Amino acid sequence: MKKHLLLFFALITFAFAKAQNYKTVTYFANDTLKLEMDVFVPKGKSKEKLPLVVHVHGGGFSGGERSSDRDFTKKAAEQGFVAANITYTLYMKGKSFSCDGKLPEKIKAIQIAANQLQQAVIYFLKNESTYNIDPAKVFISGSSAGAETVLHAAFLDSKMMSMYSESLPANFKYAGVISGAGAIMDLNLITPKNLVPVLFFHGSCDTIVPYATAAHHYCPPNSPGWLMLFGSYSIYNHIIGLKGNTKLVTYCGGGHEYSAELFHNDPLQIIDFMKGALKNEKQQSHTIVATGKECQKYAEYEFCK
């Protein structure tokens, strides 16, 4: 009886994995660390090299799972992308990432995640022929903490932030970035030289990751965890000023609950943006979405009224 049950559960597990149509691989390992990711590959063979999108889940660098946004990566694979959801070190687990936390710890959490994301990209570049990937067509995406990760991975000096022996090629540049309720520590990190297409979506009343420019969690300046952040609206306007390609979707009155909105409910909008970026289409737009909610604590933006 026990053997029959074990066989039954094994078959169920196999059928589930096959239905999900992904393969779990180890993208980085050393003496103390093993990091995995789930990789979706388009069905059928393509004569042309494929674009890649590597996704980072949210969770405040203390929680979350790579399985949370698999619907997006599965849809991306259906649309011709190799797509992966990565696991990364949750450095803030058991620590505070809010106002009572420690600023150096917050910065280190972002640095670790961004470095590990880059190791996942390096894995794909080293296995370019296996996955039939075009190194010039690599996108990174994330929500919340994942969005902070991808923004810093794209725009922070990779040599300065490097934590591992292997680095991205000196001339490497991402094809684009997808940021759901993300922010960056310094707008000056984004320059005409490193500019890439970016799609943002964010709730205008987010009290965790600021929609515009404010302290993380809106912490008072005397907090040990005080960290100024430039959110989606500020980065969008900065990129517009640099005449770059960017789109912003604003959920008026929405909070941090919209951090994965497009990944879960409109992945085709993201995929269309990535396809446009691959065609070098000029993309500059700001879409206003009414949520029926109002800001309870902070002033609403004029375009939301």
Q: What is the CATH number of the domain that holds 145?
A: 3.40.50.1820
Regarding predicted confidence, which is higher, 5 or 173? Answer: 173
Domain presence at residue 6: no
Res 6 pLDDT > 60: no
Of the candidates 168, 169, 155, which has an alpha carbon nearest to the alpha carbon of residue 110?
155
Report the number of distinct structural domains present in the chain. Answer: 1
pLDDT on residue 202: 98
Domain presence at residue 9: no
106: enclosing H helix or E strand: helix 103-126
Strand-pair category, 34-40 with 82-86: antiparallel
139: enclosing H helix or E strand: strand 133-143
- The radius of gyration of the chain's CA atoms, rounded to the nearest angstrom, is 19
**Which domain covers residue 128, as residue numbers?**
22-304
* Average pLDDT of span 232-253: 98
pLDDT on residue 298: 72
| Mean pLDDT estimate for the chain | 92
- Cα angle for residues 15, 16, 22 (degrees, 5° grid): 105
* pTM for this prediction: 0.92
pLDDT on residue 10: 43
Of the candidates 21, 142, 132, which has an alpha carbon nearest to the alpha carbon of residue 77?
21
Domain presence at residue 115: yes
**174 three-state secondary structure:** coil
Listed in sequence order, the residues at least 6 apart from 207 whose beta carbon sits closer than 8 Å to its beta carbon are 217, 218, 255, 256, 297, 298
* Average pLDDT of span 101-110: 96
Contact, 38 vs 73, CB < 8 A?
Answer: yes
Domain presence at residue 229: yes
Domain presence at residue 8: no
**Cβ count within 10 A of residue 130:** 9
Of the candidates 65, 225, 83, 226, which has an alpha carbon nearest to the alpha carbon of residue 145?
65
Res 76 pLDDT > 80: yes
Domain presence at residue 180: yes
pLDDT on residue 157: 84
Domain presence at residue 1: no
Domain presence at residue 100: yes
* 246 phi-psi bin (left φ>0, alpha ψ -120 to 50, beta other): beta
- Structure confidence by residue, pLDDT tens digits, 162-209: 899 899 998 899 999 999 999 999 999 999 999 999 999 999 999 999
pLDDT on residue 28: 97
Phi and psi (nearest 5°) for 113?
-60, -45
| Helix 70-78 and helix 267-278, axial crossing angle in degrees, nearest 10 | 50
**199 three-state secondary structure:** strand
* Average pLDDT of span 8-17: 43
For residues 69 and 189, what is the distance between their CA atoms, to the nearest angstrom? 28
pLDDT on residue 18: 44
**What is the separation, in whole angstroms, between the first and last Cα of the chain?**
65
Burial of 303 (0-12, 13-18, 19+ CB in 10 A): exposed
